[in-house]
Amino acid sequence: MRKVDLGWTRIFVEVARCGTLSEAAARLNITQPAVSYQIRRAEAEFGTPLLRRLHRGVELTDAGRRVFDILAREVDQIDRLAEDLRHGPAKTMLRLFTDYAFSALWLIPRIERFRAAWPQFELQVIATQHTDPAQLRAGDLAVIFGRGADLGRGAVPLLPEVVVPLRAGGFAAGLAQAPLIHLDSQQHPPPWFTWADYFAAFGMEREPRTDRGDLRFNTYSLVIEAALAGQGVALGWRGLIEPFVERGLLIPAGPELAARDAGAGDRGYHMLPGGGDTEGLQRWLLAECAAHVMARR
């Protein structure tokens, strides 16, 4: 059986899709006579017309439709393969589960450094307040706030919980008189420091009835936005709020309170690896968090 010469295949597919020889020639950046020549070659190979000439343009014959249905798929697959090969092997996907505060305030300002150090990975960040460690699979990693003992034996400490009251530069009220900005929790008691914890730790009391101006949010990013807008004083978690303090947008309004000094042990952000190709991401997270902790000593 004589093998078919397939040098005309892309031109034939383009003509069939465009419906005119002139438009196909323009798309392929060749002359219309060259297109006509290749179509004649194709029809000679099959010994039957593949296109029906119309007053304006062309349409496929029954034989042409059968040829097109096969060749169009093959041409598209070759194009996709060529695109993949030009851009190298597909990147390995890593999934990082963490809460909204860590992803928005800690991860995003630093993520370019991870991409530069580990370009072979594609990172998918899944922001959620309800990560189940048991659901992590190979290629997954979680950064979860809590106590190491509650998170399991594989939990690795990243950022210990340390809070400091923060106010905007133009906000002048003292801590005992100021409206406070609270981070609400669906858990009781909340798994992090609250204003009640803070005042109790330092033996402080608020002036009567000042809580009438308090604000409450269920997302930490909104707590920070409200503080930036001068709406009150917020508890700032060290590791998340440094950019605002360093730029002078938020100013400490009281002493720091650390979990280890308040009977909360190692409470803070911990890393839970799910295995697979996450070793590079683990090392990067550990190095970045260790640099923050060392800088504060």
- The three-class DSSP label of residue 164 is strand
At residue 43, the pLDDT reads 92
Tell which residue, 173, 166, 185, has the closest CA to residue 227. 166
Q: Is residue 235 within a helix (H) or strand (E), and if so which, with residue range?
A: strand 233-237
At residue 188, the pLDDT reads 83
DSSP state of 230: T
At residue 5, the pLDDT reads 78
Domains annotated for the chain, with CATH where assigned, are 9-86 (1.10.10.10), 92-157+266-295 (3.40.190.10), 162-261 (3.40.190.10)
Long-range CB contact pairs, 186-189, < 8 A, 24+: none
Tell which residue, 208, 174, 176, 171, has the closest CA to residue 195. 176
DSSP state of 248: T
Q: Is 88 exposed, middle or buried (0-12, 13-18, 19+ CB in 10 A)?
A: exposed
At residue 239, the pLDDT reads 93
What DSSP line would sit under 99-157, residue for residue? -HHIIIIIIHHHHHHHHHH-TTEEEEEEE-S---GGG--TTEEEEEEE-HHHH-TT-EE
Sign of CA dihedral 209, 214, 216, 221: negative
Q: Is residue 184 within a helix (H) or strand (E), and if so which, with residue range?
A: none
pTM, two decimal places: 0.68
Token pair, residue 185, equals: 């929790």
Q: What is the pLDDT along the chain (297 residues), one digit of tens a residue?
A: 677 778 889 999 999 999 999 999 998 999 999 999 999 999 998 999 999 999 888 999 999 999 999 999 998 899 888 877 777 666 788 889 999 999 999 999 999 999 888 888 888 999 888 877 777 776 789 999 999 888 888 899 999 999 999 999 877 667 878 899 999 988 888 899 999 999 999 998 876 565 568 999 999 999 999 999 999 999 999 999 999 999 999 999 999 999 998 888 999 999 998 777 888 899 999 999 998 888 776
The half-sphere exposure of 267 on its side-chain side, counting CA atoms within 13 A, is: 18
One-letter amino acid at 153 equals: R
Q: Which residues pair with 216 in a beta bridge?
A: 182
